[in-house]
Structure 1
Amino acid sequence: MDFDYDLFVIGGGSGGVRAARIAAGQHGARVGLAEEYRMGGTCVIRGCVPKKLMVFASSFPTAMADAQAYGWQVTVGGLDWSAFRARLDSELDRLEKAYRGGLSSAGVEVHDCRATVVDAHTVHLAGGKTVRAKHILVAVGGRPFVPHFPGSEHVLTSNDIFKLDALPASVLIVGGGYIACEFACILAGLGVKVTQFQRSARILKEFDEEAVDLVAEDMKAQGIDLHCGVVVSGIEPEAGGFRVTCMDGRSDVFGKVIYATGRVPNTESLGLEAAGVALGKGGKVPVDGWSQTAVPSIYAVGDVTDRIQLTPVAIREGHAFADTVFGADPRQPDHDLVASAVFTTPELATVGLTEDAARAKGPIEVYVSSFKPMRSAFAGRADRVLMKLVVCKDTRRVLGCHIVAPEAGEMIQMVGIAMKMGATKEDFDRTCAVHPTMAEELVTMRKPVRTA
């Protein structure tokens, strides 16, 4: 059977691009890739990268206030949002160009259009062309989900924040996941009056409760008006913004309303079901450990699947797929002990099990240290940090680590290496502390605060 490509990738995000580059550049496969928007996907264009740059931008008011406390003569002015936007757009253009350059140098043929699946080996391009491929990789990622309710057409999502012409004076953020909490902190840091509604009893439900409690406390201390157990019933335009009405009767006007209530896979009208790939809950693509769907020639990686939705995970999945199918190096991506960080202020970083999840598996010891960090304490700020280890009583292995602190994401990366190697609490204890640092508390906690 004649094929136009050995591999055709649908989606130019981190996972799809990595798979295409490795298959073509390292293993010599004939590869085509279609992307309907911008190369780089959610992470590079409308996710991790611009978000982290906004995190940096939002941190300067506190940094300058600290500088004053340390004796520096600093005058804090206002943010020139248009200047920041222009610089941000320029950086994203540079990154997209780098992604395209990497594909080109690897020999990947790029199609700047939407692509859909016709059958096990056929892909239809929006321009009217149809191509045949021995293997098809679906890497179309996901998009923000907004529930339908009266006035839902007026809300913004995380995709829109990077394109605002001006920052609003006030904003309501609806949602309690990491995206909602990150943007609440970012916008508050940029000088916006932020209110946040979450329908369930607490924010960041998937993370360790003790760590989340400290994050929520710090968010409120920053002036974020955080309310849990609140459900929006309707939104309508009003002078000065949008009036939001809730099921408990509360009503208020906000300059903008942003929904961060989860994400869904971009599988709608993609043609997978007609090709024999039955979609799972919410439109996710079920795959096995090899990223293979029920149709042997069709694979899927990244946020479109029913696995961990993180950019580094998608990259590893794409790389493993390419090595397995085209490099005679069969291996499955490892989804165990994947570290992650929530870029709130302060950051929340985690690897392994929460205290509740670990307790459900057997007897544990819990070690916790919460304290005022030296830098902010000297500046007169009351914020606290938290270091937490969850340890298996029987094996002594560290099952979970949870950090709430500035730069927590930088710390958890190192902890993740130790835990991946099977480190025990005694291994942590034998490690000499680096003083004075926040992270030294991870190796100086000697007595558990509770056992279960």
Structure 2
Amino acid sequence: MLLTGKHLTLTKKTEIKKQLGTEITKKIFRKISEKKGGYQYDLAVIGGGSGGLSVSQKAAELGAKVALMDYVEPTLRGSKWGIGGACPNVGCIPKKLLHAAAQSRENLHFSTFYGWDVDPINAKHNWNLMINNVQSYIRSLNWGYKVKLRQKGIDYLNFFARLKSEHEIELVRKGSDDVKLITAENIVIATGGTPIIPQVPGGEHCITSNDLFSLPTPPGKTLILGAAYIGLEAAGVLSGLGFDTSVMVRSKVLRKFDQQMAKMIQNNLARKGVAFLHKSVLKEIKKIQNNNNSKYLVSFQNIENGQEKQAEFDTVLSAIGRRAQTQRMNLEKIGIALDKEGKIAQKNCQSSVKNIYAIGDVSSGSPELTPFAISQGKLLAFRLYGDSTQKTDYSLIPTAVFTPLEYGSAGLSEEEAISTYKLENIEVYHSYFTPLEFALPHFAENECYIKVICNKLENEKILGIHYFGPNAGEIIQGFAASMKCGITKSQLDSTLGIHPTCAENFTNLDVTKRSGKDPKKTGC
């Protein structure tokens, strides 16, 4: 008699696959619902974003019978999108494409120094063409996700899902009283987050990042509320495309990031024309008409001196934060604990109800990053339906901010390193430099920057790497891998650089902050 599931060794499973073929083997390995209390599904996943797609697809590959539920609540402006969650629809993907559009304008200026006969000053941008092309690409991604679900035998259910019990899920369509019920042995909640609308008079007039990438008309003069990475990336895009752009800052720019690097990003944006309204809070937004076009009169107050001001804008974009989408799901009713931010309290993705799990932006303590949600999903599927006990690694998470000059980092900020290891035990190597491609147009001269933070008590093991310059995400990715391997400063120094590149500057850092020497690089 054949054993199934986790009782089989990997070798035995391989032998059975050879004998019976993949499809028959999947049925044998599957945790058959009839043998598990009559549940319709082994796994039900609520949320079709990066995390939800990851866990559902990997679980199906491991033989589980899976259902995935995904429902998009339209924004106040009526924006909606297809399966895939925030990243491909209203986040990472369209953001990076618009970032490329803004950089294209800058490249027009650069090209004149390389012999191209173009007129960058009078170049015209077609907002509608850009948005239509971006949305067309996004729709191709939506279609691809649906095809992959079908290929893996996953039931895709386009309903709003709420829990009735720890094993029962009610499916509801907006505007319908018809409620469907499905059951599952395990449930994963991966509903992500949604932008917060400011709770002030007229706050409903704001758009969010959920609207920006499908705006049918150019945004015009824009006020961005909030100076976290979403707000600053939007500021870089809109300013780069030629729109008058302001950012309202309550406390600090990029307050969760290394503050030296945050200041560099702010200064670079300011040099490109972005206005910063520091120590300011929104009080009211009034809609006004001006030549048949809607404009908005924004009232705000300086929190230090109490002075109140007003200014007119064509668009107000709220980027003051995101909240977890846990509302109306009956989570607390069945005993699922939430943290103070409304996220699902979890340990190794498991909620306070043992068969219900949370991954991605909706789970407490998790970085709100697409690759992190994907990793959580895959590892959870392996733990549930494979032979793995591997848990998600929360350390050394690399990230990038796609402002005009990009910022990438992995590991600790300088503030975190000092707090953890004390100032006397860390060494910070740094350098300002000019990328070769910026040399002819005399652009951003010695404005790009590298910082490597080392632990003196561990043979200068690298604790944090920070980079401000072109292609930050591409450059930091490899260094993040080396940090996972425990790279030290001497090992970094012994690595040959590729010349001429920006990344080679990491291999020849010899000036420390402690020395007080000039870190500006001269020559090649």
The verdict on a shared fold, with TM-score over 0.5 as the criterion, is yes
Aligned ranges for residues 23-422 of structure 1 at < 5 Å? Answer: 23-24=59-60, 26-37=61-72, 38-76=82-120, 77-126=123-172, 127-200=178-251, 202-240=252-290, 241-247=295-301, 248-289=307-348, 291-306=349-364, 307-362=366-421, 363-383=425-445, 384-395=447-458, 396-422=460-486
Query: Which runs of 5 or more residues in structure 1 are unaligned?
Result: none
- Alpha-carbon displacement from aligned partner over 1:300-323 (angstroms, at most 9, x marks no partner): 100001111100000000001100
SS at match of 2:376: helix
User: Following TM superposition, by how much is the alpha carbon of 1:331 offset from its aligned partner in structure 2, in angstroms?
Assistant: 1.5
CA contact (8 A) 1:4 1:133 kept: yes
2:32 — aligned with what? Answer: none
Structure 1 CA distance, aligned partners of 2:355 and 2:444?
A: 57
Amino acid at match of 2:506: L
Task: Give the Å deviation of 1:372.
Answer: 2.4
Instruction: Give the distance between the partners of 1:382 and 1:11, measured in 2 at CA.
Output: 43
In 1, Cα distance between the equivalents of 2:96 and 2:211? 15
Question: 1:180-199 CA distances to partner (integer Å, 9 max, x unpaired)?
Answer: 00000001111111011110
Aligned to 1:183, the other structure's residue is in SS state: helix
Segments of 5+ residues of structure 2 without an aligned counterpart are 1-36, 73-81, 173-177, 302-306, 517-524
CA-CA distance at 1:169 after TM superposition: 2.4
Residues in 2 aligned to 1:373 and 1:337: alpha-carbon distance in whole angstroms? 27
Partner-residue secondary structure (3-state), 2:179:
coil
Within 2, Cα distance between the matches of 1:174 and 1:215? Answer: 17
Amino acid at match of 1:88: V
SS at match of 2:337: coil
Matched position secondary structure for 2:394: coil
- 1:227 deviates by 2.5
* Cα distance between partner residues in 1 of 2:282 and 2:426: 40
Runs (4+) off by over 6 Å: none
- Structure 2 CA distance for aligned equivalents of residues 423 and 388 of structure 1: 15
Shift of residue 147 of structure 1?
2.6
Q: Give the match for residue 424 of structure 1.
A: 488
Partner of 2:498: 434
Kept in 2: contact 1:278–1:285 (CA 8 A): yes
Q: CA deviation at 1:245?
A: 1.0
CA deviation after TM superposition for structure 1 residue 61, in Å: 1.0
Give me the whole-angstrom Cα distance separating, in 1, the residues matched to 2:391 and 2:277.
42
State how far apart, in whole Å, the 1-side matches of 2:417 and 2:131 are.
Answer: 43
CA distance in 1, matches of 2:410, 2:205: 37
Task: Tell whether the 8 Å contact from 1:115 to 1:125 is kept in structure 2 after alignment.
Answer: yes
Verify: 1:2 aligned to 2:56, yes or no: no
Give deviations 1:78-100, integer Å, cap 9, x for gaps. 11111111111111110011111
**C-alpha contact (below 8 Å) 1:196/1:224 kept by paired residues:** yes
Instruction: Say if 1:429 and 1:446, in contact at 8 Å, map to a contact too.
Output: no
CA distance in 2, matches of 1:161, 1:22: 32
Distance, in Å, in 1 between the alignment partners of 2:389 and 2:112 is 57
1:239 CA displacement: 3.2
Between 1:139-148 and 1:368-377, the stretch displaced more is 368-377
Instruction: Calculate percent identity across the aligned residue pairs.
Output: 34
Instruction: For 1:52, give the aligned amino acid.
Output: K
Contact 2:431 2:511 in 1 (8 A): no
Q: Retained in 1: the 8 A contact 2:55–2:378?
A: yes
Secondary structure of 1:282's match?
Answer: coil
Amino acid of the structure 2 residue aligned with 1:389: V
Count of aligned residue pairs for this structure pair? 449
**CA–CA distance in structure 2, aligned partners of residues 209 and 142 of structure 1:** 26
**Residues 135, 214 of structure 2: 8 Å contact kept:** no
Partner of 1:446: 510
Q: Is the 8 A contact 2:46 2:161 kept in 1?
A: yes
- How large is the RMSD of aligned CA atoms in angstroms? 1.3
1:130 and 1:197 mapped to 2: Cα distance? 46
Deviation at 1:451? Answer: 7.7
Q: Which SS does the other structure have where 1:281 is aligned?
A: coil
Q: Which amino acid aligns with 1:176?
A: A
Shift of 1:215: 1.0
Q: Is the 8 A contact 1:365 1:451 kept in 2?
A: no
Once the two structures are TM-superposed, the CA of residue 345 in structure 1 deviates from its matched residue by: 1.0
* One-letter identity of the residue aligned with 2:67: G
